[in-house]
Amino acid sequence: MDPRVQQFMAMIKARNPGENEFHQAVQEVAESLIPFIEENPKYKHAKILERIAEPERTIIFRVPWLDDKGEVQINRGFRIEMNSAIGPYKGGLRLHPTVNLGILKFLAFEQVFKNSLTTLPMGGGKGGSDFDPKGKSDNEVMRFCQSFMSELFRHIGADTDVPAGDIGVGGREIGFLFGQYKRLKNEFTGVLTGKGIEWGGSLIRPEATGYGATYFAQEMLSTRGGSLKGKIISISGSGNVAQFATEKVSELGGKVVTSSDSNGFIYDPKGIDAEKLNFIMELKNVRRGRIKEYAEKYGVEYFEGKRPWIIKCDIAMPCATQNEINEEEAKLLVKNGCNCVSEGSNMPSTPEAVEVFLNAQILYGPGKAANAGGVATSGLEMTQNSMRLPWSREEVDEKLQTIMKNIHKTCVKYGTKDSGFINYVDGANIGGFVKVANAMIAQGVV
């Protein structure tokens, strides 16, 4: 390891003990940025890297609620307000039993660079709770959301901090959170994104992350004269991002052959067509069941406890969670002919897996670039809320496509090596950094 990176990481680890995912996210960025900062000493003198890795504010709070049996339950709530140099804090809320400070800090840190890449004026934040929505009734989810917002409301606002969805937070949860915010503040504002279409939401926001990751794959493929047409695509997850990646990939002529959840994956060699995707949407969004049912319904193979990367594919789109592709799986993907990875989830590839992809010089689009379409469309929702005017599907989708093209261009600008190889990791990290760093310098030591 570069000794400068090593020294920086020793400081980060000492200040943030036990936060492994945060260390991982910071190290990846430091590896791209430290050489760049050496060439641009103004960032070094202003200690931008040291400042950018320290949250502006961290809020941790108790979330007590009553379950359906009348028993008191206690969860922990978080909001990490990471950086507001270029706009209000912006980023999702995650509800999952694995949520802890280190995971939310990694997500908030990545969000700063991602939001900068979108070209829109949004700072970075993330929040959530270790609450597990699985097996909870709608009423329990509502009571949890109301209790969570009863503390969070005093820290957020349409011009301060604008949360949205992430794992475990979709339209249902945003509704409960918005209702409680409105009641406490007596204000109807765009304080959350991912709202329902009847009450301030944007068309295409539900689709945006999956669509955006597909558009980004298309951009990467086009640098080598390729496209999605006729390609075999493996997708992990079966939630919001995975569903709409599956939809857009199929629309553009690719064949999606896998879908998964935390229990296992299904392999459908004929491809997940529109009718089968409808089944998945109903299964996951309404009945909240397990992906195994797909195998039973369509008579395909189900792999319990496994991830989809053992299946031969041309393109892989991880859309479930962090560290879901390890070194071994990355090697297998490359060996099986996979030449493009577009990350719908945040930090799905371990550092060792990323190294495999970069050494093989495949098209590797890291999450902070590839999945930025979700938050970008959240930015478009904020714009519509400010104007009090909604845009049509076509208008939003066209803006989303333009944004994904621009993110790709930024990655090419900052990531192209002398050999011509585009390192999208460096491209996204440096491209996302410059705007935030310049804003921080302009605003003084704050």
Catalytic residues: 126
Counts for the chain of helices (H) and strands (E), in that order: 17, 13
The nearest distance, CB 276 to ligand 2IT, in angstroms, is: 26
| Residue 90 site contact among ligand NDP, ligand 2IT, none (CB < 5 to 8 Å, cut-off depends on kind) | ligand 2IT
Whether the CB-CB separation of 161 and 79 falls below 8 Å is answered with: yes
Q: Which of 91, 123, 237, 427 binds ligand NDP (CB under 6 A)?
A: 237
| Residue 123 site contact among ligand 2IT, ligand NDP, none (CB < 5 to 8 Å, cut-off depends on kind) | none
The nearest distance, CB 399 to ligand NDP, in angstroms, is: 16
Please tell me whether residue 237 binds ligand 2IT under the rule CB under 6 A.
Answer: no
Nearer to ligand NDP, 318 or 427 (CB): 318
Q: Which of 87, 92, 200, 237 binds ligand 2IT (CB under 6 A)?
A: 92
| Residue 193 site contact among ligand 2IT, ligand NDP, none (CB < 5 to 8 Å, cut-off depends on kind) | ligand 2IT
Q: 439 vs 34, 55, 330, 443, CA distance in Å?
A: 19, 16, 37, 6
> In this structure, what DSSP letter does residue 392 have?
P
| Residue 261 site contact among ligand 2IT, ligand NDP, none (CB < 5 to 8 Å, cut-off depends on kind) | ligand NDP
Listed residue (149, 168, 147) closest to 104, CA to CA = 168
Residue 2 CA to residue 78 CA, distance in Å, equals 34
Q: Which of 129, 218, 240, 378 binds ligand 2IT (CB under 6 A)?
A: 378
Please tell me whether residue 118 binds ligand NDP under the rule CB under 6 A.
Answer: no
Please tell me whether residue 143 binds ligand 2IT under the rule CB under 6 A.
Answer: no
Q: Which of 55, 254, 374, 432 binds ligand 2IT (CB under 6 A)?
A: 374
Residue 446 structure tokens: 């704050």
Whether the CB-CB separation of 364 and 334 falls below 8 Å is answered with: no
10 Å Cβ neighbour count for 365?
28
Whether the CB-CB separation of 19 and 38 falls below 8 Å is answered with: no
Residue 149 structure tokens: 């917002």
Q: 349 pairs with which residues across the strands?
A: 325
Whether the CB-CB separation of 375 and 398 falls below 8 Å is answered with: no
Please tell me whether residue 375 binds ligand 2IT under the rule CB under 6 A.
Answer: yes
Please tell me whether residue 214 binds ligand NDP under the rule CB under 6 A.
Answer: no
Residues 21-60 that bind ligand NDP (CB under 6 A): none
Please tell me whether residue 147 binds ligand NDP under the rule CB under 6 A.
Answer: no
Q: Which residue has the tokens 């995912």?
A: 21
Which residues of the chain form contacts with ligand 2IT (CB under 6 A)? 90-92, 111, 114, 164, 166, 193, 346, 374-375, 378
Which residues of the chain form contacts with ligand NDP (CB under 6 A)? 165-168, 170, 209, 237-242, 261-263, 319-321, 344-346, 371, 374
